[in-house]
Copies of this chain bind each other. A is one copy, B any other.
Amino acid sequence: MAKQDKGFVQEITPRDRDFAQWYTDVILKTDLVDYAPVRGFMVIKPYGYRIWELIQSELDGRFKATGHQNCYFPLLIPESLLRKEAEHVEGFAPEVAWVTHGGNEELSERLLVRPTSETLFCSMYAKWVQSYRDLPMLYNQWCSVVRWEKSTRPFLRTSEFLWQEGHTIHATADEAQEETMRMLNTYYEFAQNVLAIPMLAGQKTEKEKFAGARATYTIEAMMQDGKSLQSGTSHNFGTNFAEAFDIRFQDENGQMQYVHETSWGTSTRLIGALVMVHGDDRGLVLPPRVAPIQAVILPIAAHKGGVLEAAEGIRAQLADAGIRVQVDDRDYSAGWKFNEWEMKGVPVRIEVGPRDLAAGQVTLVRRDTLEKTTSPIEGLADTIRQLLQSVHDGLYQKALALREAHTTCATTMEQLEAGVQTGMVKAMWCGDQACEDAIKQKTTATARAIPFEQEHLCDTCVVCGKKAKHMVAFAKAY
């Protein structure tokens, strides 16, 4: 795109001036994404899509290792199917895209573009399951969903996004609950070990749970502006949908029973999360395990004899070791390239110049701290692998510190109101939705989760002063 050979990094708005604009600048200028011709839709560009592929690969491996199989269910759902489960239709009908014509003919029944696929899975499960021997069925699909949104931002909230949706059915309530928690834990572990993002895990309140679920569990991430981002959810439906769709099986005693059902999902939203958790004023800082390029090699004074050959030799050494590596031998200045790859968030930069080569070494710069070291070319792959691990760990610790700095406890409404201006607030709650509503109305903050790790802050609800039931984490959210 014929970039000017100077200071384009200055084009990124500093975070403390305008965090929302910083986010937009970063995702557009690093070629993660672009706006599509239809308002509210996005085009995920190769650099962004490669991150998604790496996320998919990591998650999919975990799903398969726990016995899940992928499948594909149709894009379009008959309106009558959506209407079978009362809460579900109420939750989703206002935000679906309706197909009314196929070819030149008006359809006898409207079809909706899937916003989620519980209803389709249920209609097929009702057909497929007969005996306890058929259970559990542990299915997942990777696809796109459409939810008509009025206010959108790429990755965070768009009218179409990519995701995975797991749908499982089980013989007993216990097994369904176990599955629900297994998949939430899978997301939690993945976020920590792959995205370097610490998550707050807990249960959603009745008000915030998924339409049609008996219980929804969530992982919530803290962004640098103190807002919370729901990053993955896992739902236990009990027999709600089974009753609406008549999904029954014959148990070991020959009795007909309803199946117990779960669903769980994560989406391209995770890309938004990792941008907003790790990025800095120079641009992206990618966690190494999902970085499309983990190390970029920059030949310095490339016209000098042996430099390009050495760069290529190093590339081969690292590629053989399974490191995603690239040589940038384009005809730009070294300074321009430093900026470019810093903006793109590549975890490690390797500078290869005549002076280094004479000493049998290279210069390494890690993206997170910009710390510079030198390292022998021999055995460089091991060094880089350790450095990538160190970047991962550093990012995680920094994100953990960020979360702690933006989390407070409140025993009064004044403290809560002050706290949610800059982060998450833990407070006691009586369990009454009126109090939850009052907090939202007063502060725009919502109950993000009833954390699994409960603390006893005081005896009474922060709103009404009645006896408290739970500690809840409140925050403004994307």
Contact = CB atoms under 8 A, between A and B. Distances in A.
Interface string A94-113: 11111111111000000101
A42 interface: yes
Contacts of A42: 74
B148 A73 contact: no
Interface string A56-84: 00000000000001111111111001000
Interface residues on A, range: 35 or more
- Find the residue from A53, A130, A146 having the highest chain B CB count within 10 A: A146
A36 interface: yes
A1 B104 contact: no
Given A1-B128, A134-B1, A160 B74 contact: yes
A413 to B, nearest CB: 35
Given A103-B96, A104-B94, A144-B143, A120 B77 contact: no
A11 B157 CA distance: 49
Contacts of A96: 102-103
Contacts of A41: 74-76
B73 A36 contact: yes
Given A2-B133, A37-B78, A134-B1, A71 B99 contact: no
B99 A70 contact: no
Interface in A316-372: none
A257 to B, nearest CB: 15
This chain's copy number in the assembly: 2
Contacts of A377: none
Contacts of A104: 94
A101 B103 contact: no
A160 B75 contact: yes
Contacts of A144: 72, 75, 143
Interface in A12-44: 34, 36-38, 41-44
A306 interface: no
A131 interface: yes
A98 B100 contact: yes
A101 B102 contact: no
A157 to B, nearest CB: 14
- Find the residue from A44, A46, A146 having the highest chain B CB count within 10 A: A46
A81 B134 CA distance: 47
B34 A49 contact: no
A336 to B, nearest CB: 14
A258 interface: no
A50 interface: yes
A120 B43 CA distance: 9
Given A124-B43, A131-B2, A143-B144, A37 B77 contact: yes
A238 to B, nearest CB: 23
A177 B426 CA distance: 63
A65 to B, nearest CB: 13
Contacts of A207: none
Contacts of A43: 71-74, 120, 124
A139 interface: yes
A123 interface: yes
A76 B147 CA distance: 12
B38 A77 contact: yes
A466 interface: no
Contacts of A131: 1-2
Contact of A71 (B46, B72, B130, B148): B46
Contacts of A9: none
A30 B387 CA distance: 49
Nearest to A46: B69
A127 interface: yes
A182 interface: no
A124 B45 CA distance: 10
A160 B76 contact: yes
B97 A76 contact: yes
Interface in A144-161: 144, 146, 148, 159-160
A398 B95 CA distance: 53
Contact of A101 (B78, B97, B146): B97
Given A94-B104, A98-B100, 13 more contacts: A2-B130, A2-B133, A36-B73, A36-B120, A41-B76, A43-B74, A52-B72, A72-B144, A76-B160, A96-B102, A100-B100, A103-B148, A113-B113
Going nearest first, the 8 A-B pairs with the smallest beta carbon separation are: A46-B69, A102-B148, A44-B72, A41-B74, A98-B101, A103-B148, A2-B131, A36-B74
